[in-house]
Each structure stands twice: as structure tokens, then as C-alpha cells.
Amino acid sequence: MSTEAQTSGDAVYWDPYRPDLGKDPYPTYKRMRAEAPLYYNPDYDFYAVTRFNDVEACLSDHQNFISGRSDILEFIREDMEVPPGMFIWEDPPLHTAYRTVVMRVFTPKRMNDLEGMIRDYCARCLDAVVGRDKIDFIADLGGQLPGGVIGMLLGIPDEDRDAVRDRVEAALRTEEGKPMEMDQAAIMGENFEAYIDWRMDNPSDDLMTELLNTEFKDPEGVVRKLTKEEVLIFVNLLAGAGNETTSKLIGWMGKLLGEHPDQRRAVAADLSLVNNTIEEILRFEPPGPSVARYVANDVVVQGQTVPAGSVMLNIIAAANRDEGRFVDGERFDIHRQGPPHMTFGRGIHTCLGMALARVEGRVALEEILKRFPDWTVDTDNAQLSSSSSTRGWDTMPVFVG
Amino acid sequence: MAKITYISRAGEETVLDVANGSTVMRGAVDNAVKGIIGDCGGACSCATCHVYVDPAWLDRVGEVGPIEEILLEEVCDPQDNSRLGCQITITDELDGLVVRLPEKQV
Ligand code: HEM
Ligand code: FES
């Protein structure tokens, strides 16, 4: 795909809001890695890094590249106020105190224990569409499963789950060609509140109950339980961070395996390749293509000083194809053997939900392949959406068989 | 610099020279030793660098940190000699260290 910006001779230009670039950002990323490893965009006033080592170094350096003004380009610019407990947008020691308490309940073991329920959920979604000649990876599975799983985890009643998802998506969506706008109400999420009240009176063995009962050392060093407000923020954070991203992973699964029938047949014939396939989908099309940081101190990147007060965009999607690290990085290959990608971030903010996302991805793919080993993407009706923080399919219709 | 021996579940041994200041996790990941993932890059945040330290070395690999302790409760099959590989920093003292890898990280 060639767009004006790709014409050689011009200086490389990257604008995360331009739909024409968002459709296929990879040629631009490739040029950025080669020609402008420290990129600066004068229109929106941000820097960007695209090489694996640079992105890894920035994300690992939480002293100079801070999250306390959020990790989304637009929000950093707006100088938003981060509610206490929204630890994805906090720095140590606040971040450490809050992340540790959630980590205690949000464990790989608990995630693996959910596997059976996740499988049943996938089976229910997919059995409902067996026999059709066309299915949609988003409408029929990807749009439902992640919210359903968060619901299982938190013990949220089924009927409220769709409302949660819709609100979060509405909050994150950008109008085509425009930076996203903050919707504070959606982020604070009032409508979990009634549920938390109810849970306080009706404890069960879910994560919500555990959160309400856990004691932790708060940022001031006091050992106490979480407040209702803090629990509310956590729940919103988990729902917000875990829904759209995982849904997009499932959409990319439909797209990439639809377009690589030989590789799809290879996994369908040998389900032991499923884990590797999920990792390759995550590497090749990360649902969160970039995360931003506020530059707290002057810092040297690629031999150039990036001044304090700047915004740095870490383009994970570009780093994941860096030929310096991934042989033949632009090629989708489920047989690839390491090294690991950066789709779940790096450093102290590394995705807390990655064990869960991986279980969901693996189980979804297994259950799909058992029922639908063959499909072709209905390209004309597949709809892509992209913003500075997520990129993936709103619809991914495929012809089966 | 220290020679570190990684022993897989299947008994396969990999011996590496790892530089001082690096970590048990980093040494493995940089040399594509299977069985250690190191997703967070060593920030003690992901628990995908779990190793079993040979008991003979336990008193030389340093103390378990508070966050590491929480993560270690949650890895697959935790044992008394479980550590996170990214929290063991290489020094000359660790020359000869032997670690065994768990069945799985996630
Ligand atoms: C394929 C699916 C997913 C992808 C690609 C993904 C990606 C990411 C990335 C890149 C970050 C780091 C953000 C930053 O450094 O600013 C992150 C953080 C986070 N993710 Fe995920 N995520 C996924 C699924 C999930 C799920 C299922 C959950 C929970 C239910 C979750 C919860 C979180 C939380 C709580 C954080 C903040 C961690 C912190 O700041 O310490 N994610 N995720
Ligand atoms: S590498 Fe993540 S905890 Fe050790």
C-alpha cells in the first residue's frame, strides 16, 4: 500500500490520527526505524521511538518516562487529573502500593482456574453460529468473551456486562482523524457502584469480594482495607484495560489466519501450535500499538536530548517488527521461535492481565478451530478502527468452509 | 562474570557466561534459553522468570524482596527454593550457580 507520505524523498511523517496511515502503518514504521529512530511530530508536538531497544529502554525507565499523566497521547496533553487507584496512570510509590494489592488477587493461578469457564463461554458463543456460512469474529465471539470473562472474575451479573463494554468503548473511540476526548464519567464508571454495595453485603469467592477484604499498605504506609472508591477505580481499570484489547486480539486472529490458510491448517492439524500462534498474532498486530509517556527530565535518546515536558510515544507495533531483533520481522510466521515481543509492554507497568489474555486467546482459537477449520475474510465488510492507543477490527466477518 | 547453569525440566543443561550486573533472567533471555520468558524485562512485575535455585546456592543469591514474595506465591509449583530470575543479579560470587527451570511459566 502506498500513500503520499510513503513517497521516498519526503521526510517520513507519522500522524496517529490519519486514517490513511492507520490502515497500514507498517511501511511508515519501517521508515521511522531506519530514517528517524527518534521521530518528532511538530503538528501534535510529540516524540516517538520505534526500534525495539529504544522502546524497551524507555518503558523500563520509569524515572525519566513517567505515567502519572496517563499513557495516552491526548490525555497527557490535556494534563488530566488521574483518580487515585488508576495505577496504570500512576508512578511509584503510588503505583507500587496499588499494583501490589491487585497483583495479590489477580494471579496467574486464578486466571488458569478460569480456563474451564472460558471454554464453556466460547463453546456457547460458537455453537450458536455453527451451520452458518458466515460468522463474525467480533460480533460472535471477540466482542463478548473478554467482557464475559471480566464479569466472571468480578462476579458481575450477566445482564450488566454489555453496558460496561459499550461505555468503555465509547470512552476510548476517536472520531476518525481526530484525537480522542476524555470522558471522565466513563472512566470513573458510576454504575459499578451499586454492584459493589451489593457485593459488600453478599460476599462470594470472586475477585471483587477479595478486593474488598484485602488489607494492604497504602501509599502513606498505613495498613488498611481498600476504600469503595479505590475498588471502583480498580474494577474500571480492569474492565477498561482487558476488554477492547482482548477483543481486538480475537479480531486479528480472524484476519491473520484467514489470510494465511496454510498456517491456519497447520495449527488446526496440530493444536500444540496454538500458543505459538497466539504469540505471533500478538507480535504481528498488537491490539495496543503504542503507549505514551511524559518526559520528566531531559533525557538523551538516539544521541539527541529530549527535553523535560515532552511527550514520548513508544510504538510497540513498530518495535515488534524491528529486523534488528526479529528475523524477517514483516513476515507472519506461526512457527517463529522467540525472542519475545513487547505487546504487553515492559517495566513496572507490564500488563497485569497478560496471563488472562493469553488463556482467552488460546482457548478461543482452539474452540474456533474445532468448529471452523477453514475461513476466508469478507474484506469488503470488515471494518478497522484505530486510535493512538488501540488498533483493530470493529467487525471481522468471514465466510466459513 | 559468572558461569550459570540452567537445567530444563527435561534435564537439558545450558551453561552460559553471564556478565556482572546482568541477571539470571537476562542471561537466559539474551541467549534464547527456553523456559524463561521475562515479559516485564526484569521489573519484578510479571513472574515469568521463575527458577529453582540449587539449594547449595540459596544463601548466596540474596534475599527475596517484598514484591517478589507476592509473585512467588502465584507461580506454577512454588517451592522453598523458588526465585524470580530477574531479581538475582550476577556477581563474581555466583560463578558456578545452578538453577532449574519450572515446568511452565504461565
Ligand atoms: C491482548 C490483550 C491485552 C493487551 C495487548 C494488553 C496490553 C497492555 C499494555 C501494553 C500495557 C502497558 C501500558 C503502559 O505501559 O502504559 C497494559 C497494562 C495493563 N493491562 Fe493489559 N493488555 C491486554 C489484556 C489485559 C487484560 C485481559 C487485563 C485485565 C483483565 C489487562 C489489565 C491491565 C492492567 C491493569 C494494566 C496496568 C498495569 C500497570 O500499570 O501496572 N490487560 N496492558
Ligand atoms: S522478568 Fe518479570 S518478574 Fe522477572
Asked, as a colleague might, if the bond just before A19 is cis with ω within 30 of 0, I would say: no
Q: What is the pLDDT of residues A285-329, one digit of tens each?
A: 999 999 999 999 999 999 999 999 999 999 999 999 999 999 999
Per-residue burial over A271-282, b = 16 or more CB atoms within 10 Å of its CB, e = otherwise: eebbbbbbbbbb
If we measure between CA atoms, which residue out of A237, A158, A228 comes closest to residue A200?
A: A228
Question: Which residues touch B60 (CB under 8 Å, ≥6 apart)?
Answer: B93, B94, B97
Taking alpha carbons only, the member of A50, A2, A43 closest to residue A289 is: A50
Chain A residues interacting with chain B (CB cutoff of 8 angstroms): 56, 59-60, 96, 99-100, 103-104, 107-109, 337-340, 344-350, 354-355, 358
Verify cis geometry, omega within 30 degrees of 0, for the bond prior to B78. no
Q: Is the CB of residue B13 less than 8 Å from the CB of residue B22?
A: no
Best mutation site among A348, A351, A358 for ligand 1 pocket (most ligand atoms within 8 Å of CB):
A351
Q: Ligand 1 center to residue A84 CA distance, Å? A: 18
Chain B positions touching A92 (Cβ under 8 A) are none
In total, how many domains does chain B have? Answer: 1
Q: What nine digits make up the cell of A271?
A: 493444536
The DSSP code for A141 is I
> Which residue's C-alpha cell is 547449595?
B56
Quote the cell numbers at residue A163: 453496558
Range of the structural domain that residue A60 is part of: 3-400
Residues in chain B, how many? 106
Q: With a 6 A CB cut-off, is A70 part of the ligand 1 pocket?
A: no
C-alpha to C-alpha distance for A312 and A40, rounded to whole angstroms: 9
- Contact (CB, 8 A) for A57 and A84: no
Of A83, A64, A93, nearest in space to A310 by CA: A64
Q: How many CA atoms lie within 13 A of A183 on its CB side?
A: 14
CATH number at residue A124: 1.10.630.10
Please report residues of B whose CB lies closer than 8 A to that of A96. 67
More confident residue, A338 or A99: A99
How many CA atoms lie less than 13 Å away from A360 in the CB half-sphere?
Answer: 30
The set of cell numbers assigned to A225 is 482495607
Chain A residues with CB inside 8 Å of B77's CB?
none
Closest ligand 2 atom, residue B49 Cα: 4
ipTM: 0.84
Instruction: Examine residue B106 and state whether it is found in any structural domain, yes or no.
Output: no
d(CA A37, CA A51): 6
- Tell me the three cell numbers of residue B37: 520468558
CA angle A251, A253, A258 (to 5 degrees): 105
B16 belongs to a structural domain: yes
Q: Give residue-wise pLDDT tens across range A30-53.
A: 999 999 999 999 999 999 999 999
- Quote the cell numbers at residue A210: 477479595
B43-65 pLDDT, tens digit per residue, is 999 999 999 999 999 999 999 99
Domain holding B46, by residue range, is 2-100
CB A388 within 8 A of CB A292: yes
Backbone CA torsion sign across A252, A255, A257, A262? negative
Query: Nearest ligand to the C-alpha of residue B26?
Result: 2
pLDDT of residue A82 exceeding 90, the answer is: no
3-state SS, residue B5:
strand
DSSP helix/strand/coil, B59? helix
Assess whether the C-beta atom of A351 lies below 6 angstroms from ligand 1.
Answer: yes
pLDDT in tens, A93-133: 889 989 988 887 777 677 778 899 999 999 999 999 999 99
- CATH number, domain of B57, equals 3.10.20.30
Confirm whether B54 is domain-assigned.
yes
Nearest Cα neighbor of B39 from A108, A116, A302 is A108
Q: What is the pLDDT of residues A186-224, one digit of tens each?
A: 433 455 676 777 778 878 777 888 888 888 888 788 999
Tens-place pLDDT, residues A357-395: 999 999 999 999 999 999 999 999 999 988 778 899 999
What average pLDDT does the structure give for chain A?
Answer: 87
pLDDT, position A170: 58
User: Measuring CA to CA, which residue among A251, A292, A243 is closest to residue A136?
Assistant: A251
Query: Is A286 within 8 Å of A343 (Cβ atoms)?
Result: yes
- Tell me the mean pLDDT per 10 residues along chain B, length 106: 96 96 95 90 92 96 91 89 97 97 88
| Domains identified in chain A, total number | 1
Can you tell me the distance from the alpha carbon of A55 to that of A313, in angstroms, rounded to the nearest whole number? Answer: 9
B residues 4-63 closer than 8 Å to A (CB) = 29, 32, 34, 37-43, 45-47
Query: Helix crossing, A94-105 with A228-259: angle to 10°?
Result: 70
Q: Which of B43, B71, B74 is opposite residue A348, by nearest beta carbon? A: B43
B105 belongs to a structural domain: no
pLDDT range class, residue A346, cuts 50, 70, 90: very high
Q: Which amino acid is at A266?
A: A
CB-based burial, B49-87: b 16+ in 10 Å, e otherwise: bbbbbbeebeeebeeeeebbebbbebbeebeeebbbbbb
DSSP letter for A82, please: P
